[in-house]
Amino acid sequence: MEPFGAREVETRGRKNYVVSCLYPVAKDLVVRTRSEKVDKIRRVILEELLAHAPNSPELVSLAQEYGADRDRFEKESSFCILCGLCVRYCAEVKHKNAVGFLERGPRREIKFFPEIAAKECWDCQECFALCPTSYAQAAYFLTEALAFPGKRKASAQSA
């Protein structure tokens, strides 16, 4: 498994380190998915992600593969690793945009938008299975409890 789109690309003898999903394909482009520098970039990213989700089986496995230090960074309480899988799935596959990123930098987090989530997420919840830490599910249920309380009870009574 190759985590995070970090790749080494070489064009005309010049090397760059890029996120592969954002880099355009070009003639004579050489792409390396494993190199000392790429592995170092991935190791640091893993160490940062482990601060948010120290018990994620996927991250723990990758940390062993890349020699990442699980305790390098202070642990955060969010458990969201900001991978964006839920955001992209909702936007690109479902075309609903019920979940998105809020803020930037160290304050960045995912958020379900109550006005959309109340209509769209109840019958969907497909993004939950994509989340490597189960944070998407927790964030949705928190939104549900705060923004549209009683929906679960009303739905259960009508069933």
Tell me the CATH number at 147: 3.30.70
- Full-model pTM: 0.59
What gap in Å lies between CA 6 and CA 151, rounded to an integer? 42
What gap in Å lies between CA 116 and CA 98, rounded to an integer? 5
Residue from 24, 26, 32, 33 nearest 12 by CA: 26
- Give residue 94's pLDDT: 96
Is residue 45 in some structural domain? yes
- Give the dihedral of Cα atoms 75, 81, 82, 84; nearest 10 deg: -170
What gap in Å lies between CA 66 and CA 22, rounded to an integer? 23
Query: Residues 62, 89: one domain?
Result: no
Is residue 137 in some structural domain? yes
Number of structural domains in the chain = 2
Average pLDDT on 14-43 reads: 85
Domain ranges, residue 36: 6-66
- Give residue 77's pLDDT: 61
Query: Residues 57, 106: one domain?
Result: no
Is residue 151 in some structural domain? yes
Query: Which of 14, 31, 66 is the last residue in one of the domains?
Result: 66
Average pLDDT on 90-95 reads: 96
Can you list the alpha helix ranges (DSSP code H) found in the chain? Answer: 36-52, 57-66, 85-88, 114-120, 135-147, 151-158
